[in-house]
A and B are shown apart, each in its own frame.
Chain A
Amino acid sequence: MTFLNFVISGLSLGSVYAIIALGYTMVYGIAKMLNFAHGDVIMVGAYICFYSVSRFHLPPIVGVILAMIVCTMLGIIVERLAYKPLRRAPSLAVLITAIGVSYFLQNSALLLWTSNPKMFPSVVTKGSLKLFSGQLSVSYVTIVTIVTCIVIMICLTWFTGRTRMGKAMRACSEDKGAAQLMGINVNATISLTFAIGSGLAAIAGVLLCSSYPTLMPTTGSMPGIKAFTAAVFGGIGSIPGALLGGLMLGVIEIFAKAYISTQLSDAVVFAVLIIVLLVKPAGLLGIEMQEKV
């Protein structure tokens, strides 16, 4: 039963990673940039939810929606001000700008909300579901996290596969020039991608802090890096890859903590990533592009 417990908590953590990784992977797919500020959008989302629930006593669901709205706006504004002017710049310049944005968000949070850790109130009612006559207990937060992740995945798969905008998004990530010739508004599509990614980051922030309730301005950076790893793990640019990578990373992390060592769990996670990339250089579900000479 303990084994099953570890699997479930791994899946729960992995779901959070997967939701964050979706943001990374979609932005990478379309803008070909590593958005290092993504982790800090998570933190902003968590803070917005925290303040609306504990300070203004709004119902949790309103807090989540508020966080999503603020993060979506934030994503669009950041893209417009910092990344859009660099559309034709070398990728390293964009990377450094993203790091600048990350510093900016972290330090704004430090000024606005101080460095004191906040105890995040869970947005889901406390308690747990008892299964197998009480041998296996699964907290409601875990269930909500996993279900949210599945719902988001289904919605995104439908969105990118069936809707006009989703198809535009895929077209842009394949060939921006050709997409523009077909009458797709490339700039608007990129903005939309950032908006969706940031909105998802808000959800991830709330779910993350519901399970691990310490909230600080640096809360987002480590999960951000892990989720980025998850995106690469699954094959960056691929949406199912982000889900698979996120879930696997979560399970591996929890297993490493349980069976190997708590302190070395990060090392184990990154070691697995390295091994996977050596066997499959484009990630688990990534498509290896043949270079044309």
Chain B
Amino acid sequence: MLKRYLNLKRGNARQIFFTYMAVIAAYVILQLMITAGVLSSLMRSMLVPICAYMVMAISLNLVVGVLGELSLGHAGFMSIGAFSGVSAAIILQGVLPYAPLRLAAAIIIGALFAAVAGFLIGIPVLRLKGDYLAIVTLAFGEIIKNIFNNFYMGIDSEGISMSMLTDKTRLLEGGRLIIAGPMGIGGIQKLSTFTAGFILTMVALVIVFNLVNSRSGRAFMAIRDDRIAAESVGMNITRYKMMAFVTSAALAGAAGCLFAMNYSTIVANKFDFNTSILVLVFVVLGGQGNMLGSIIAAAALTILPEKLRQFADYRMLLYAVVLIAVMLCKNNESVGEFVRRFAPRFLRSGRKEGKENG
């Protein structure tokens, strides 16, 4: 692994190294703050969701930033990961009594289910291009939400039974209804911890960085930059697109499982179009293809609405204004120039860099 980094262009290797270091440093500092008791309980409760969103942002950045296709249904994969992972955790309760191991198993199962879904959805989706691809991912996201809202699954001594639309599981005495349609899954053991979130973020980073800096990763970027040229030199476009899409879906599933295991109940409506959009905002704001940017944006934009709480009703309005303003500053010469004139010196170079990435 080390050799691969040494072979890279220096700037790229440094950036990857810096990203790992930043995540580790953030983890260590936050852990110290928790032990010292300086972190407010509100912030502590947000650590796991932030980690989950970071993994989501990394995952979506692989599709949007590196592969160059727009996905508007990533919350669907998150949903599949959440429901299958949490169900697995409940079923495995007797088999794996050690909580961290059960969490790991749940996350892996969630990722696997999401990967399979990503593969099945990828077959039709990846034949399309541009905005049409985007709308079909949106459609799949909505379909997944709709199905989970009408899905019932229970377990009893005879095994697992499931049904659609109405609860026809007819569980025996002592059985347990795991997924209850629109009520989702209730009574989840909160297995997710900040450490688990940190490990998952690191794993996601390792997977994505290694993929991006491999032969396949260079193929992704070639396809993004010029599909026809890539095809003309004999690249199997569908295969590479599928590889990126399935990896991304698996990571999203893992993130969904981590996210769900942080709450006592989870419903399908939590993973709707707005969630997909939220993650897309992280990616675009952080800079397409820039993983550190995605991570920072995910953390900042999850904390921002909470920090704006003092403005009460105005906070989401402010959020919207900030979003529009940042987009205008980043992408419009005159607006950007105007803002830069008033910005402190240390921000100036940073903004220019952001513009290149966006």
CA distance A103 to B324 in the complex (A): 10
A107/B316 in contact, CB under 8 A: yes
- Within 245-293 of A, Cβ neighbours of B (below 8 Å) are at 261, 263-264, 266-267, 270-271, 273-274, 277-278, 281-283, 291, 293
Alpha-carbon separation in the docked complex, A277 to B313 (Å)? 41
Known contacts A93-B358, A111-B313, A281 near B165 by CB under 8 Å: no
The answer on a CB contact under 8 Å between B132 and A281 is yes
Structural contact, A92 and B284, CB atoms closer than 8 A: yes
Query: Who on chain B is nearest to A99 by CB?
Result: B277
With an 8 A cutoff between CB atoms, is A129 at the interface?
no
Q: Mark A11-23, 1 if CB is under 8 A from B, else 0.
A: 0000000000000
Q: Is the interface of B mostly helix, strand, loop or mixed?
A: helix
Whole-angstrom CA separation of A151 from B269 in the bound complex: 38
Q: Which of A28, A93, A229 has the most CB of B within 10 A?
A: A93
CA A232 – CA B324 in complex, angstroms?
A: 26
Minimum Cβ distance to chain B for residue A132 (Å): 34
Q: Is B131 an interface residue (CB 8 A)?
A: yes
| Complex Cα–Cα for A186 and B143 (A) | 39
> Closest CB of chain A to B56's CB: distance in Å?
16
Cα-based distance from A103 to B316 in the complex (angstroms): 7
B146:A273 contact, CB within 8 angstroms = no
| B136 part of interface (Cβ distance < 8 Å) | yes
Say whether chain A's binding surface is mostly helix, strand, loop, or mixed.
helix
Contact partner of A278 (CB less than 8 A), chosen from B127, B140, B146, B228, is B127
**Which B300-316 residues have a C-beta within 8 angstroms of A?**
313-314, 316
Expressed in whole angstroms, the minimum distance between the Cβ of B55 and any Cβ of chain A is 20
B residues 327-353 touching A (CB-CB < 8 Å):
327-328, 330-332, 334-335
A89 interface contact, C-beta 8 A: yes
A104 near B: Cβ within 8 Å? yes
- Please indicate the chain A residues that have their CB under 8 angstroms from the CB of B334 in the complex: 85
| B149 CB within 8 Å of chain A | yes
Q: Are B140 and A270 in contact (CB under 8 A)?
A: yes
What distance in Å separates the Cβ of B183 from its nearest Cβ neighbour in chain A? 13
- Give which listed residue, A34, A263, A277, contacts B128 with CB less than 8 A: A277
Given A86-B332, A263-B146, A270-B142, verify A100-B228 contact (CB < 8 Å). Answer: no
Q: Given the known inter-chain contacts A34-B131, A86-B331, please indicate yes or no for A264 contacting B138, CB distance below 8 A.
A: no
Considering the complex, which residues of chain B in the window 188-240 have a beta carbon less than 8 Å from any beta carbon of chain A? 228
B34 at the interface (CB under 8 A from A): no
- Sample 29 A-B pairs with CB under 8 A, ordered by A number: A34-B134, A85-B335, A90-B358, A92-B284, A95-B284, A96-B281, A96-B323, A97-B324, A99-B277, A100-B323, A103-B317, A103-B320, A108-B317, A225-B138, A229-B135, A232-B131, A232-B132, A261-B165, A264-B146, A266-B142, A266-B143, A267-B142, A270-B143, A274-B140, A277-B132, A277-B135, A278-B124, A281-B129, A282-B132
Seed contacts A221-B273, A228-B135, A291-B228; 17 additional CB < 8 Å A-B pairs: A34-B134, A85-B334, A85-B335, A89-B331, A96-B280, A96-B281, A96-B323, A103-B316, A110-B316, A225-B142, A261-B150, A267-B142, A273-B139, A277-B135, A278-B124, A281-B127, A281-B132
